[in-house]
């Protein structure tokens, strides 16, 4: 090897974010057989090759549940997930005079289980098949918007074929930023009911003060049950439905984790960005995180102010408020973590080393695997330059784009109006030509979202949220302003306030029957509606469509150009005999590691397990450390039965591992070396919140509920013995 290349290899070996420990990685199931030696060395006692089979244990029990993950724990469709994943379901069943968010809930039997929110879904993955060649063939020779549309059309055709089998929800997942595509076939379960949830003072013990912190003492779990129609097929809620029979369920371990034990986690992590360019790291650190925190904190203040005036609004916005607070703290922690790890500098130096390697590598075809798209060094560099130009283009309107995103996803009535107007537009097209999210396959979910509005909307609160976002919009530079928005809302505070008061005072979209009537109405009638909110949505729709086309043009080019960088990165990893996992994208992934404490700073060493003693130590009698009296009494009695840790001689609560996780892994089952359920993932430590961008093995830890704490609560504190028996871990005698 020439001297220059040896030096570059040495630099890259230090700087590239290759796995610094065997435990880094959110692996696709089909990659796990390649990791057989590492898994066995880590302590896994099963067959690593079997983990690639999504239809076999343990992965056939792991499901996407709402915005997180869950796992079946019985053959009667009973599944366990986080309290915060099920929070919307709990909130949907709560009222000021029966606030299950505070009181908790335990069904006495299956007939006593409560209907879930209409838009909550459980997805059971059945197949995961590579369709790269078909998708990319459709886009061959195209650029920009044409490239995007070709990829989109190919994906829709694949999905339509897959969903010919009723009750299935299919998708095409993009791996490595457009390099690979996979068809995912899932059973879509739409009738999901609330079975058990501890009181909020257990499920959220410590709330935002303890969020992302260690030590933790949270019982962040809930039990749901999936139902199907009497014919055994997925169905909407009906009292006559029967429990779903899952393809598999996890065995609950009677033993608990201890320091150094092997641990494995399976779930649906949201999005990671570890393979992004240095310029994207820089923008995230220099602008994006602080901007998000500032915007979310403003919305939090609005909801808290309005909730203090209106108890009904406080209950309706409880789930949204919790999500905003979690997001704000997560972004703050992410910024602190990236600065602590000096990620901006390290990524920039790594990228420069990569570019130098490419310039001196010449043609690289010899290291291309069959079927891979590889370019020589010069062509790869040209593609990377193109990506950088597109990223600069997107940055020019980043402030505006953040506000528009929040205006869409943090409102109920305005979002409903926009959805109805867009659906009316799309219904005039052949189904394959409709926009993704507005095809016939999506109308059931749109209807469910319209139904849940009633329990998550208060007119005064939404007006206040929109006014705050418009205040920020008016402060944008003129180049980022949108004429249609200025015309619709006005260009000063008084006009905006008067306009919103008129629209929210006159609209009928707050009435569920009226909202649902627009689903089946003639598209022309919806578009010409004189309802104030629908008319507003019609007025701003041209602008939203124009911006969407600009985004697709840019995304099409990114899909075309980014794979060159990923192909080069894969070749480099291969030279070093290192496997490379794709950035997470809400598809099923597996991580492995160990139960482990950590040292966040000099003189501080954290053990990996907490006990009920910490609940008592933190208890103040005031929110968020107001432990319920039955819990404190049970701790004082010391009757922990078969769930006590034999070494500690007390009841454990939470534990740490060095598993690689991110948002979306909430509710992911944590398994021991035998594949038994020992924990439930629910958080990360403050020092590792930045792991979605940068993995630092010194600090990366995941926080889990010890399943023995769940069992003890359901046995001794808020009994549900029939559920413990169903899970195969009967109550102690």
Element (H, E) at 33: none
d(CA 415, CA 96): 25
From the list 191, 220, 261, 706, the catalytic residue is 220
**Coil, strand, or helix at residue 189?**
strand
Exposed, middle or buried by CB within 10 Å (0-12, 13-18, 19+), for 513?
A: exposed
Cα 76 to Cα 245: distance, rounded to the nearest angstrom: 5
Q: Which helix (H) or strand (E) holds 532?
A: helix 532-575
The active-site residue out of 117, 218, 666, 684 is: 666
Contact between 597 and 258 under an 8 Å Cβ cutoff? The reply is no
Closest by alpha carbon to 677, among 152, 109, 60, 253? 253
Can you tell me the distance from the alpha carbon of 521 to that of 519, in angstroms, rounded to the nearest whole number? 6
Q: Is 220 a catalytic residue?
A: yes
C-alpha–C-alpha distance, residues 647 and 415, integer Å: 53
DSSP 8-state code for residue 715 = I
Distance CA 336, CA 316 (A): 32
* β-sheet bridge partners, residue 306: none
Residue 705: its H or E element = strand 702-706
- CA–CA dist 593, 657 (Å, integer): 7
Catalytic residue, chosen from 83, 84, 249, 275, is 84
Element (H, E) at 113: none
- What tokens appear for 688 in the block? 């590792």
CA-CA distance, 132 to 181, in Å (whole number)?
5
Q: Which two tokens stand for residue 163?
A: 């969903």
- Cα 541 to Cα 535: distance, rounded to the nearest angstrom: 10
Could you tell me if 193 and 225 are in contact, meaning their C-beta atoms sit under 8 angstroms apart?
A: yes
Closest CA to 264 of 466, 424, 32, 94: 32
φ/ψ of residue 170, rounded to 5 = -120, 160
Catalytic annotation present for 666: yes
Strand ranges (DSSP E) for 212-279? 222-228, 242-243, 262-267
How many Cα neighbours within 13 Å face the side chain of 245? 4
In whole angstroms, what is the distance from residue 593 CA to residue 23 CA?
A: 5
Please name which of 716, 685, 689, 680 lies closest in space to residue 219, comparing C-alpha atoms.
680
> Which amino acids are annotated catalytic?
84, 220, 666
């Amino acid at each position: 090897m020439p001297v220059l290349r040896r030096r570059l290899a040495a630099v890259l070996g230090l700087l590239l974010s290759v796995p610094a420990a065997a435990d880094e990685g959110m692996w696709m199931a089909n990659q796990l057989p390649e990791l057989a030696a590492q898994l066995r060395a880590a302590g896994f006692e099963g067959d690593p090759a079997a983990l690639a089979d999504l239809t076999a244990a343990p992965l056939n029990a792991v499901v996407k549940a709402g915005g997180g993950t869950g796992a079946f724990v019985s053959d009667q469709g009973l599944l366990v997930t986080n309290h915060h994943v099920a929070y919307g379901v709990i909130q949907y069943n709560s009222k000021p005079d029966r606030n299950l968010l505070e009181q908790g809930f335990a069904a006495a039997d299956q007939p006593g289980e409560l209907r879930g929110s209409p838009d909550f879904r459980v997805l059971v993955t059945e197949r995961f098949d590579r369709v790269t060649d078909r998708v990319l063939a459709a886009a061959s020779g195209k650029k920009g918007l044409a490239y995007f549309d070709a990829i989109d059309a190919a994906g829709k055709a694949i999905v339509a074929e897959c969903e010919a089998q009723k009750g299935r929800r299919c998708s095409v997942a993009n791996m490595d930023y457009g390099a690979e595509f996979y068809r995912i076939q899932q059973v879509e379960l739409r009738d999901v009911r609330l079975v058990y949830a501890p009181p909020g003072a257990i499920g959220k013990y410590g709330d935002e003060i303890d969020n992302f912190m260690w030590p933790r003492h949270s019982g962040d779990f809930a039990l749901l049950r999936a139902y199907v129609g009497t014919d055994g097929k997925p169905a909407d809620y009906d009292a006559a439905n029967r429990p779903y029979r899952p393809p598999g369920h996890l065995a609950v371990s009677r033993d608990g984790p201890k320091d150094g034990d092997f641990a494995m986690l399976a779930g649906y992590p949201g999005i990671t960005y570890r393979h992004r360019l240095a310029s994207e790291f820089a923008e995230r650190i220099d602008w994006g995180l602080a901007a998000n925190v500032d915007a979310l904190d403003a919305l939090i203040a609005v909801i808290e102010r309005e909730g203090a005036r209106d108890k009904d609004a406080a209950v309706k916005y409880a789930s949204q408020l919790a999500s905003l607070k979690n997001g704000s703290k997560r972004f703050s922690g992410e910024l602190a973590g990236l600065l602590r790890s000096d990620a901006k500098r390290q990524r920039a130096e790594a990228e420069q080393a990569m570019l130098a390697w490419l310039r001196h590598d010449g043609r690289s075809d010899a290291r291309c695997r069959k079927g891979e798209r590889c370019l020589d060094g010069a062509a790869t560099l040209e593609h990377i330059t193109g990506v950088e130009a597109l990223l600069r283009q997107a940055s020019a309107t980043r402030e505006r784009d953040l506000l528009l995103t929040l205006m869409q996803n943090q409102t109920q009535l305005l979002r409903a109006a926009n959805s109805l107007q867009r659906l009316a537009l799309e219904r005039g097209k052949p189904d394959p030509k409709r926009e993704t999210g507005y095809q016939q396959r999506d109308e059931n979910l749109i209807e469910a979202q319209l139904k849940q509005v009633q329990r998550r909307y208060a007119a005064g609160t939404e007006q206040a949220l929109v006014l705050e976002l418009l205040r920020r919009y008016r402060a944008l530079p003129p180049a980022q302003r949108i004429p249609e928005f200025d015309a619709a809302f006005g260009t000063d505070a008084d006009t905006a306030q008067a306009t919103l008061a008129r629209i929210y005072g006159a609209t009928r979209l707050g009435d569920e029957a009226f909202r649902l009537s627009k689903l089946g109405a003639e598209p022309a009638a919806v578009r010409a509606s004189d309802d104030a909110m629908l008319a507003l949505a019609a007025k701003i729709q041209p602008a939203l469509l124009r911006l969407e086309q600009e985004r697709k043009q840019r995304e099409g080019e990114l899909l075309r150009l980014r794979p060159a960088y990923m192909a080069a990165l894969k070749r480099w990893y291969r030279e070093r005999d290192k496997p490379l996992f794709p950035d997470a994208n809400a598809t099923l992934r597996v991580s492995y590691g160990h139960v482990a404490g950590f040292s966040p700073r000099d003189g501080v060493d954290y053990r990996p397990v907490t006990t009920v003693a910490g609940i008592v130590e933190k208890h103040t009698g005031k929110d968020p450390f107001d432990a319920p009296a039955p819990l404190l009494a049970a701790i004082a009695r010391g009757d922990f039965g078969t769930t006590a840790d034999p070494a500690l001689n007390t009841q454990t609560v939470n534990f740490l591992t060095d598993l690689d996780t991110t948002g979306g892994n909430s509710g992911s089952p944590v398994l021991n070396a035998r594949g038994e359920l020992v924990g439930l993932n629910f958080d990360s430590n403050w020092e590792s919140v930045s792991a979605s961008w940068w993995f630092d093995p010194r600090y990366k830890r995941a926080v889990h509920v010890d399943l023995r704490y769940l069992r003890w609560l359901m046995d001794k504190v808020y009994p549900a013995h029939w559920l413990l028996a169903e899970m195969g871990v009967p109550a102690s005698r």
